[in-house]
Amino acid sequence: MPRKSSITSIADEQAAPGGAAAVDRALSVLSAFEKGDISLSVTELAERTRLYKSTVLRLLASLAHGGLLRKTPEGLWALGPEISRLASLYTASFSLEDVVLPVMKDLVAKTGESVALHVKQGDQRLCLFRVDSPQLLRDHVQAGDVLPLDRGAGGRVLMAFSGTKGRLYDKIRKDGYILSISDRVPGLVGVSAPIWKGNGELVGALTLTVPESRFKDSFVKDLRNASVSLTNQLL
Note down the domain range covering 150: 85-233
Does 67 lie in the same domain as 17?
yes
pLDDT at residue 121 greater than cutoff 90? no
Q: Model confidence over 173-203: pLDDT tens digits?
A: 999 999 999 999 999 999 999 999 877 889 9
Mean pLDDT of the residues in the chain: 91
Taking CA atoms, 171 is separated from 33, 157, 167, 175, 201, in Å, by 38, 10, 6, 6, 20
pLDDT at residue 1 greater than cutoff 50? no
pLDDT, residue 35, reads: 87
Inside any domain, residue 91: yes
Does 133 lie in the same domain as 33?
no
Q: How many residues does the chain have?
A: 235
pLDDT, residue 235, reads: 73
| Strand partners for 150 | none
pLDDT, residue 4, reads: 43
pLDDT at residue 5 greater than cutoff 70? no
**Which has the minimum average pLDDT: 68-77, 84-93, 125-134?**
84-93
Last residue of a domain, one of 60, 79, 98: 79
Q: Does 98 or 46 have the greater pLDDT score?
A: 46
Does 74 lie in the same domain as 97?
no
Last residue of a domain, one of 41, 64, 79: 79
Does 164 lie in the same domain as 75?
no
Q: Is the dihedral of CA 16, 21, 25, 30 positive or negative?
A: negative
Inside any domain, residue 189: yes
Does 190 lie in the same domain as 154?
yes
Does 185 lie in the same domain as 70?
no
Inside any domain, residue 2: no
Inside any domain, residue 1: no
71: CATH: 1.10.10.10
Does 225 lie in the same domain as 120?
yes
Q: How many CA atoms within 13 Å lie on the side-chain side of 215?
A: 18
Q: How many CA atoms within 13 Å lie on the side-chain side of 98?
A: 3
DSSP line for 106-144 = HHHHHHSSEEEEEEEETTEEEEEEEE--SSSSS----TT
Q: How confident is the model at residue 6 (pLDDT cuts 50, 70, 90)?
A: low
pLDDT at residue 211 greater than cutoff 90? yes
Does 58 lie in the same domain as 41?
yes
Query: How many separate domains does the chain show?
Result: 2
pLDDT, residue 93, reads: 54
Q: Model confidence over 122-168: pLDDT tens digits?
A: 889 999 999 999 998 988 899 999 999 999 999 999 999 999 999 99
